[in-house]
Amino acid sequence: MASCSVRRWRQLALWLHVTTSVAWMAQALAIFVLLTTSLTTDSQAVAVSATSMAQVLDGRLLAPMANASAFTGFMLAAATGWGFFRYRWVLVKFVITLTQLHLGIFVLSSALADSATAAATGTRGPAVPLAVGSALMAGAIAFQAWVSVAKPWSTTRWMPEDRRQVAGTAPRWVFVATVVGVAADLTIAGLLGHPAPLISLAILGTWLVLRRRQSHTSGHAGGSPALR
């Protein structure tokens, strides 16, 4: 019964990861459409409206969905035997996600504000590279979806030679916390109008610390660090 409950909560966390990833890609495509509209229209009012709406979508939908997708993906890797570095396809997804988060937080958001200001003055500003970047973002998410299904490539050098040393599935509370954390942070983002994934970060950090301590304890005891 306990293992069945763990499986159900794990499946719910996986469902959240898939749906938020699809939402992330959908918003990236929507921003691409809005930015290309601002570039091709002859109406300054339409250009201003399109870039302003792209900025709203980025702050209220794309960023919260991106944070939720990344958090659930990281938790599924940390709370199961997949890990972050044992399989090449997981490592590729991990690197792509970190890159997208960095570009989205430090490049896309501020550039969208500059683009909206430029559109109000009748110039294009950074709309062209932003449109290309949003299309590439959607394409990268689609590629990650294929990687998740196909699971190509072999294991990395960080995979233990004895597979029994690989940690098993985490306790149920980890997946419950993952689901609750996503719901809480999305609610906070909706109320604030911008993402604030503090709860998700706290949950991820707590589990990584606990997992490391349990792994060291099991290693010193000479047994398998399974967390089932």
Concatenate the DSSP letters of all residues of 37-80 into one string: HHHH-S-HHHHHHHHHHHHHHIIIIIHHHHHHHHHHHHHHHHTS
Token code pair at residue 131: 């449109």
Q: What is the mean pLDDT of residues 126-132?
A: 84
* Extents of the domains making up the chain: 2-220
Instruction: Say what the alpha-carbon torsion angle 225, 90, 151, 25 is, to the nearest 10 degrees.
Output: 140
∠ CA 37-132-197, nearest 5°, is 95
**What distance, in Å, lies between the first and last C-alpha atoms of the chain?**
13
| pLDDT per position as a tens digit, 37-92 | 988 888 888 988 999 999 999 999 999 999 999 999 999 999 998 999 999 999 99
Say if residue 228 is exposed, middle or buried (CB neighbours under 10 Å; 0-12, 13-18, 19+): exposed
Query: Model pTM?
Result: 0.89
